[in-house]
Amino acid sequence: MIQITDLIFSWPGQSEATLHIDDLQIAEGEKLFLHGPSGSGKSTLLSLLAGIQTPQQGSVTILDQDLSKLSDAKRDRFRADHIGTIFQNFNLLPYLSPIENVILGCNFSKRRASNLRSANTSAQHQANLLLEELGIDKQTRSKSVSELSIGQQQRVAAARAFIGQPELIIADEPTSALDADNRDVFINQLFEQAKHYQATILFVSHDANLAHLFDRQISLREINGVAQ
């Protein structure tokens, strides 16, 4: 799913690299936990995996596509088609309902919409199905997301990430605002959806206590060759 090779990345104006990763491989279907303290480069790595940034050296390859060889527009399209993201702050549109927020995941990707047509379903139907499976009842689905609890908003963000069956789900500190019980429930729901839709999960957090729930854990500090 993901192959990073000889990667070096520096932000403009910095004399030292932020990331220097010789090799990182993530298999299809794997549930990987990536942890590291604040300032260790987690957000920078995610921006490279999403194609928002490109390295000064080395390659970031996802689904056999070297992202640095794509134009900005093609990287944007690749991200919309193949990567579902659950942001730390969810990035939901507060004036839209949960259903409308989830469907947005397909509005920017012809490939995701095509996946739904191939499965003989619609974005509306799959959005309802995902929200139901993630514990959002029918009445709540018609509310404004601004009326939802943090836990409910989190599950709406997860449904939006999964709609249209992208191959890779990146979860960026998605449980930081939850207590332990709700955190574990959410992660279990995330795993169930990943299994159903055959998605790979890259879960990023500073909380190493979650690592045992995943197939594999990696410390960014250990794989990053930059002195910290």
The full DSSP string for 152-219 is HHHHHHHHHHHTT--SEEEEESTTTTS-HHHHHHHHHHHHHHHHHHT-EEEEEES-GGGGGGSSEEEE
Spatial separation of the C-alpha atoms in residues 17 and 9, rounded to whole Å:
6
Tell me the average confidence (pLDDT) per consecutive run of 10 residues in the chain, 228 residues long. Answer: 96 90 95 89 92 94 95 95 90 93 90 92 93 92 92 92 95 83 86 92 89 93 80
Q: What is the pTM of this model?
A: 0.92
pLDDT reported for residue 227: 54
Whether the CB-CB separation of 202 and 84 falls below 8 Å is answered with: no
Distance CA(176)–CA(160), nearest Å, equals 19
Domains of the chain plus CATH, in order, are 32-41+78-223 (3.40.50.300)
Over the stretch 71-114, which tens digit does the pLDDT of each residue have?
999 999 999 999 999 988 889 999 999 999 999 888 889 999 99
Q: Are 102 and 131 in contact (CB under 8 A)?
A: yes
At residue 55, the 3 state secondary structure works out as coil
